[in-house]
Structure 1
């Protein structure tokens, strides 16, 4: 009984000291440590989405064909991710590695709009992709066949790869907080 009482007193003394020393609700307390204060309300992204550089990203837990993944992202007010900058590509690849996504994850990259041309687009629009992260001359090996959809491929350390759009893979959705996107529909 004495041990319990002693532990209880020490716990409450520490609690009082910590509470008086740091006002945890104050953003100043967090800034002293070099952190941005946590946003517990008014999150820029829906629950289950990750925020990065003005966009929200959803890493799926289910596997779908490319077109079904596209529809699912649209139903969540987003679109299959379109990678526009190198740092965005690195962010996504690191999370795929961290989550150890088996096989790969769909992105919006595809050539379904013009399969006969050597042009790649984002979603089902005329927004052409001009920067790529292919693994070791990827397109030289996939000139024929029905591999028209892009994904981050596990075997290639999550560099880009093309696959048959009917394959079931994980997928990554993107949305801009506060904006409904109609551009990739």
Structure 2
């Protein structure tokens, strides 16, 4: 009886153990399946990560190539810009040189034109002088007159006022002397050691005119004596050659001195 009980108890234990073992296997299988699924998921994730990493790497490589390409193009543009800048500067220098050359040519042309006009004027003057000399080649000055260039000059032997002097010169076929330049001034002052009237008279205060109607030029004003004309005492309207200094002096027109006449040869 005890044996039977004992056997019965063992059988129950075996059944329980058998049921427990079956349940454990199921959980193990479930666990293994879960691990397998998890592994597959991880594998898929790793594959996707690898693909993404490869894509990122490829994209990065592409961007690097693009960057290098853009850098090369930028450098090329900079080189072209630098070359264009140098060319522009060179063209500007050429322009400045051409402008300077053009201005220099214009200045030279202007100077040559002025020189040409001056030479033409001198040529005309010389031609007129030659013509005048040819017309006077057979003419001489009357007795008592002295020739200088193409004019005859006469120093009076008497004295009188400026108006009397001019009247006498006109009666002789001429007029009081008109001085035109340095050479004529030297010749005229050498004619006398005394003061003598010349054909210059005040027209208005500060304005002087020759008997031929021409105004006193600025180039002849150097022949005034020191401090002259001074209109000393007032009404000094006529001009004389000062005998002591060989310069010009304004004096009262009724002063009693000699005079110098000028006329063309006969």
Question: Which range, TM-score by smaller chain?
Answer: 0.5 to 0.7
Return 5+ residue gaps in structure 2 as ranges: 1-137
- Cα distance in 2 for residues equivalent to 1:77 and 1:83: 18
Is the Cα–Cα contact under 8 Å of residues 159 and 258 in structure 2 kept in the other structure?
yes
> Cα RMSD (Å) of the superposition?
1.6
Q: How far did 1:95 drift? A: 2.2
- Return the alpha-carbon distance in structure 1 between the equivalents of residues 209 and 186 of structure 2: 20
3-state SS of 1:70 partner: helix
Per the alignment, residue 127 of structure 1 pairs with: 214
1:142 to partner: Cα distance = 2.3
For the residues of structure 2 that align with 1:158 and 1:143, how far apart are their CA atoms? 19
The secondary structure found in structure 1 opposite 2:261 is strand
Q: Which of these residues, 176, 183, 186, is aligned with residue 87 of structure 1?
A: 183
Question: How far apart, CA to CA, are the structure 2 residues paired with 1:129 and 1:74?
Answer: 21
Tell me which protein shows more helix as a share of its residues: 2
Aligned to 2:104: none
More strand by share: 1
Q: Number of residue pairs matched?
A: 126
Q: Match for residue 235 of structure 2? A: 146
On the 8 A contact 2:157/2:258 being kept in 1, the answer is yes
The one of 55, 59, 70 equivalent to 2:155 is: 59
- Residue 169 of structure 1 aligns with which residue? 257
- Larger relative contact order (Cα-Cα within 8 Å, sequence gap ≥ 6): 1
Q: Determine whether 1:78 maps to 2:174.
A: yes
Measure how far apart 1:129 and its partner are.
Answer: 1.4
Larger Rg: 2
Q: Aligned partners of 1:137 and 1:56: how far apart in 2?
A: 31
CA deviation digits over 1:1-40, x for unaligned, max 9? xxxxxxxxxxxxxxxxxxxxxxxxxxxxxxxxxxxxxxxx
Q: C-alpha displacement at 1:144, in angstroms?
A: 6.2
Please list every run of at least 4 consecutive aligned residues from structure 1 whose deviation after the TM superposition is greater than 6 angstroms: none
Distance in 2, Cα, partners of 1:95 & 1:73:
16
Q: Unpaired segments of 5 or more residues in structure 1?
A: 1-41, 179-185
